[in-house]
Chain A
């Protein structure tokens, strides 16, 4: 049986661990709230953008000289996966979930004879995928050390994607990230970005009243589309980044909550053990004294 002193030391150490996890949980909760409001603030823009793109895209998509960003390069050979993960650990299975999801997808695509390239956003995902797919990684972007995600960060990432598309480095681009369903549930999701999926393709029924109105364009349709598409790409990346950070903090909050509870349980067990040992010691000492007195 462990000595009293060793037990005391263990109890103190578990107690300070509990303090740390509790503090981390509080911090994660505060950051989660901020990330959530930010994600909500970005929603109106994305919705309006989608509506605008729907009316524009439909009229241009059919023409042969439609922009590459809208219709892709026509082939389906090289796939680019943009994998968004957290920059830090201690968030339960958050990063591993996206990583595993991406891995399965890469394997599927490669089994189908496609070439896969990976652009990793976030340090943890990059580290995870490097172990198996080091040769496929074309770039790594880390947002570590930033207090909050800015739209300019998203623009930078989408700028890289556009540059790669123009250089003909891939045909299809898919965004892989953790969709924020609720604080306790984040779902790894794949979202195709290039070629652009127009909203009509998702639900073709019921032409929304007024949405199909005949618009005038100033300047030309093509010019507007050329400016709108990169922006649309950036906003999709931005949303993924925001959902990722909200999900990350949600997951971290949960993990830390569990850790705090486990530490509490452990402290209880150790304290019980400590008290038993202490009593056993007292009893033993008493027996020794009594039997000593009787012997006299």
Chain B
């Protein structure tokens, strides 16, 4: 089957760079499947799971905490704010993050809307991480 080059980079390292058949990205406006020959697009991602398909099977699942993706017919580049393979995700750590974010949100009740929004995003990311860890 036809393949395209999938690259997944986070600021700390290059996690993935190889030819795959399909990738499902958690785009901001709904899940999006990318196949070879996709129309050029730039999208933002919400936190969620990227599923990579090779030889007709899902071979790898990675959690990303928001970011961007650039799609061209022969290539898909994902710039993730943070990325971890599902296998390395720990539910306990994710739950700690949720609790921290919840505490920060309560503490920020009197803060400016922008700050509260930033904390809200953090909370949502942490919750998505727990869900992803449960699914793993």
Contact = CB atoms under 8 A, between A and B. Distances in A.
Interface of A: 38, 41-42, 44-45, 48-49, 51-52, 55-56, 151, 154, 210, 213-219, 223-224, 227-228, 231, 234-235, 238
A216 B44 CA distance: 12
Interface residues of B, number: 22
14 contacts: A41-B12, A44-B9, A44-B14, A45-B11, A48-B9, A48-B77, A215-B42, A216-B41, A217-B42, A218-B43, A223-B44, A227-B44, A231-B81, A234-B11
B133 interface: no
A72 B51 CA distance: 39
Given A41-B12, A218-B28, A238-B11, A49 B41 contact: no
Interface residues of A: mostly helix, strand, loop or mixed? helix
A228 B9 CA distance: 15
Contact of B42 (A38, A41, A42, A56): A56
A213 B10 CA distance: 24
A213 B40 contact: yes
Interface residues of B: mostly helix, strand, loop or mixed? strand
Contacts of B70: 48, 51-52, 215
Contact of B40 (A42, A154, A216, A238): A216
Given A151-B11, A218-B41, A210 B72 contact: yes
B77 to A, nearest CB: 5
What 8 A-B pairs are tightest by C-beta distance, nearest first?
A: A41-B13, A151-B11, A45-B9, A44-B14, A216-B41, A218-B43, A213-B40, A44-B9
A172 to B, nearest CB: 24
A224 B81 CA distance: 14
Given A215-B42, A219-B44, A52 B13 contact: no
Contact of A52 (B12, B68, B81): B68
B126 to A, nearest CB: 14
A111 B68 CA distance: 42
A45 B10 contact: yes
A213 B9 contact: no
Given A45-B79, A49-B79, A151 B12 contact: yes
Interface string B66-77: 001010100001
A215 B7 contact: no
A51 B68 CA distance: 12
A172 B72 CA distance: 34
Contacts of B14: 41, 44-45
A213 B82 CA distance: 28
Contact of B79 (A52, A56, A217, A219): A52
A231 B10 CA distance: 11
Contacts of B39: 216
Given A52-B42, A214-B40, A218-B27, A235 B11 contact: yes
Interface string B43-83: 11000000000000000000000001010100001010100
Contacts of A235: 11
B111 interface: no
Question: By CB atoms of chain B within 10 A, which of A56, A223, A231, A238 has the most?
Answer: A231
Question: By CB atoms of chain A within 10 A, which of B7, B12, B39, B72 has the most?
Answer: B12
A183 B14 CA distance: 24
A228 B45 CA distance: 11
B29 A219 contact: yes
